[in-house]
């Protein structure tokens, strides 16, 4: 993902927060007007606002690459989005995975 996009995303963190505060009805008619990248970011934020997930689980759920999820999460967190990296999930194989959850203010 390009650095320019990530910097832009960092600056838009407040806008994503405001969008998620809209009623479901307002979100429903606005979402189709947004780009696919914005739609995926909103989908990702909705996922982690309901439960803790790993980067891999988020990527699988929204059908994108894990690196994309990591970069978007990091940019939004830098921009002030309340995202916490919580406890670690241990899998039977491989290295420990960090769990992500969007904090509610």
CB 81 within 8 A of CB 53: no
Cβ neighbours of 7 (radius 10 Å): 13
At residue 25, the pLDDT reads 94
**What is the spatial distance between Cα 89 and Cα 95, in angstroms, rounded to a whole number?**
9
Confidence of residue 26 (pLDDT cuts 50, 70, 90): very high
Alpha-carbon separation of residue 59 from 23, 24, 26, 44, 105 (angstroms): 26, 24, 26, 8, 25
pLDDT of 6 over the 80 cut: yes
Confidence of residue 95 (pLDDT cuts 50, 70, 90): low
What pLDDT digit, counting tens, does each position of 29-78 carry? Answer: 999 999 999 999 999 999 888 888 888 888 999 999 988 988 888 888 88
> What integer is the mean pLDDT of 10-20?
90
pLDDT of 103 over the 80 cut: no
Mean pLDDT of the chain: 82
Taking the domains of the chain in order of start, what are their residue ranges? 3-102
CB 75 within 8 A of CB 3: no
| Pairwise pLDDT comparison (51 vs 23), residue with the higher score | 23
Q: pTM higher than 0.85 for the full model?
A: no
- Tell me the CATH number for domain 3-102: 1.10.10.10
At residue 91, the pLDDT reads 43
Cβ neighbours of 36 (radius 10 Å): 8
Question: 93: exposed, middle or buried (C-beta count within 10 Å: 0-12, 13-18, 19+)?
Answer: exposed
């Amino acid at each position: 993902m390009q650095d320019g996009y990530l910097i832009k995303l960092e600056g838009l963190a407040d806008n994503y927060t405001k969008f998620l505060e809209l009623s479901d009805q307002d979100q429903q008619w606005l979402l189709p007007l947004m780009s696919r990248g914005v739609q995926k970011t909103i989908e990702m934020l909705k996922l982690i606002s309901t439960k803790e997930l790993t980067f891999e689980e988020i990527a699988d759920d929204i059908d994108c690459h894990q690196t994309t999820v990591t970069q978007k999460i990091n940019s939004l967190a830098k921009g002030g989005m309340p995202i916490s990296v919580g406890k670690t999930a241990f899998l039977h194989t491989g290295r420990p995975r960090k769990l992500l959850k969007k904090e509610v203010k």
